Amino acid sequence: MTVAAPLPADFAPGLEGVTAFATEIAEPDKDGGSLRYRGVDIEDLVAQRVTFGDVWALLVDGKFGQGLPPAEPFPIPVHTGDVRVDVQAGLAMLAPIWGFEPLLDTEDSVARNQLARASVMALSYVAQSARGNSLPAVPQHIVDECSTVTSRFMTRWQGDPDPKHVEAIDAYWVSAAEHGMNASTFTARVIASTGADVAASLSGAVGAMSGPLHGGAPPAYCR
């Protein structure tokens, strides 16, 4: 019979109450009534119609500047009928296709550009998967006419989206762009900390997002 060793006095199941990291990216006020990205109130970002692509630069670089680029014209390689599976598998395949090296062997500036490249590819995959096989793909030249990451996403998905819908999605993405240490972010950080490549980290984050206690919670609640 094996006797389990006693747990240490400071043991915290599930890391409850454990400070995992400190961040300067997102800063809620003391009353919890507002949230700032790098010192900028998200209500101001939404009110001034700062795009999601530009907010990405603020979060990653600490300043506005080089935002998210357009996604490359890359057809989604997997069509299963499940958006999460399609995106997770497609992202994992980017590393060998694009030659991403392990983060352990990658300079920060290169990793930053790989993250931008893979992030917009993830959005492209979501749009392509959501559009499905029953509709023809939106011609690339039409997507190229769009001026923002969000409008390109919506156009690739719907073909001719309502501008109000594009604006609403952009505002939502800006408001939800940073969530501290939620499960998918934590998963991505753990994978990245092993030295794995950028695409593997994002693919793992999508897997965590699919869980019914994380990103899968709203659909489960609606059922």
In this prediction, residue 166 carries a pLDDT of 97
| Spatial separation of the C-alpha atoms in residues 80 and 158, rounded to whole Å | 19
Q: pLDDT (tens digit, 0 to 9) for every residue of the chain, 223 residues total?
A: 566 778 787 777 777 777 777 888 887 766 667 889 999 999 999 999 999 999 999 999 999 988 999 999 999 999 999 999 999 999 999 999 999 999 999 999 999 999 999 999 999 999 999 999 899 999 999 999 999 999 999 999 999 999 999 999 999 999 999 877 888 999 999 999 999 999 999 999 999 988 888 766 555 544 5
The whole model's pTM is what? 0.88
- CB 67 within 8 Å of CB 56: yes
- CB 74 within 8 Å of CB 124: yes
- CB 37 within 8 Å of CB 61: no
Domain covering 23-222: architecture: Orthogonal Bundle (1.10)
Query: For the chain, what are the domain ranges?
Result: 23-222
In this prediction, residue 218 carries a pLDDT of 55
